[in-house]
Chains A and B, each alone.
Chain A
Amino acid sequence: MRETRLWSLHILAIPIIAVLLGMHFAIMHYAPVFYGMSVEEARAFDTMIERGKSVAQFVIYILLLIAGLYHGLYGLRGILRELPLTPALVKVVDIGILIFGLLIFALGAYVTWWTFNAPLGG
């Protein structure tokens, strides 16, 4: 049952990633089409900080972090668990991936929070 739940979350993450990554692409890579600014402008420090102060952006990035990391790390876990590992090593893989995921999420969330609170103009 636990594995079914984890797999279902892996599948559930797909539409979330599709929508949020689409938005991320629209903002960062297709800024000339959607926002009438060059890609360089969209990636400029001040623009990025200003954008990061929006609550919608904050929520989008935190959700994308969660969905993307979960989907990717669950996939990695599945690949590693298919290797001929002993049950003890399977546990090491599970815990190792969980800790790694939490650390990367903490970094991403901290940077998003930092941007949300950063003063404008550097």
Chain B
Amino acid sequence: MNNKPSAYNNRLGLKGWMYAGRYSFERYLYLGHRLSGLGLLAYMVLHIVETANRIRGEEAWAELMALFASPPFRVIEYLLFVMAVFHAMNGVRLILVELGFFLGKPKEPVYPYSTSVLRHRSLTYIIMVLAGLLMLLGSSSMFFK
């Protein structure tokens, strides 16, 4: 019998992304941060490849720009904007949390203990509301010209 543990066998892998445990809201923000990050990375790579099209000349470039001006691409562009805003705002939250801001005054560790996640909860809500407002503002400039 082979009892040798495989490397990193204590990790949940993709299942760990979905299991929120007791950190519910923040856990889903974590999932959203990852998915938006992957989406933005995929876009960045496509954007670099797509803008390389300029080497093929003015006509090829104009065709590409006409394609991007079509309604489906406007929607995709807005989704990218939403992902970028969410990723950036949640990133700001993560930096503030990581650096220990907005934790409040230290308290005696008396049961029931409060976690730092709960102490940051109002900050989380404020940042997400701001993100929502930015997304709405972006939609007005993109769709109602």
Contacts and interface: CB of A to CB of B under 8 A. Distances in A.
Q: Do A and B come from one complex?
A: yes
Contact of B49 (A69, A82, A85, A107): A107
Query: Interface residues of B: mostly helix, strand, loop or mixed?
Result: helix
Nearest to B57: A122
Query: Which of under 10, 10 to 19, 20 to 34, or 35 or more describes the interface residues of A?
Result: 20 to 34
B54 A48 contact: yes
A62 to B, nearest CB: 12
Q: Secondary structure of the A side of the interface?
A: helix
B9 interface: yes
Given A107-B49, A111-B54, A83 B38 contact: no
A17 to B, nearest CB: 9
Nearest to A110: B52
Contacts of A84: 6-9, 11, 13
Contact of A79 (B34, B48, B61, B88): B34
Contacts of B69: 40
A28 to B, nearest CB: 10
A72 B43 CA distance: 11
Interface string A39-69: 0100111101100000000000000010011
B128 interface: no
Interface in A78-94: 79, 82-87, 90
Contact of A45 (B11, B62, B88, B91): B62
A3 B139 CA distance: 39
B91 A76 contact: no
A72 B48 contact: no
Interface in A1-41: 11, 14, 18, 40
B51 A82 contact: no
Given A72-B44, A75-B37, A114 B9 contact: no
Interface string A91-113: 00000000000001001101100
B44 A45 contact: no
B41 A83 contact: no
Given A46-B58, A122-B58, 14 more contacts: A40-B65, A75-B37, A82-B11, A83-B14, A84-B7, A84-B13, A86-B6, A107-B48, A107-B52, A108-B48, A110-B52, A111-B48, A111-B51, A122-B57
Interface of A: 11, 14, 18, 40, 43-46, 48-49, 65, 68-69, 72-73, 75-76, 79, 82-87, 90, 104, 107-108, 110-111, 114-115, 122
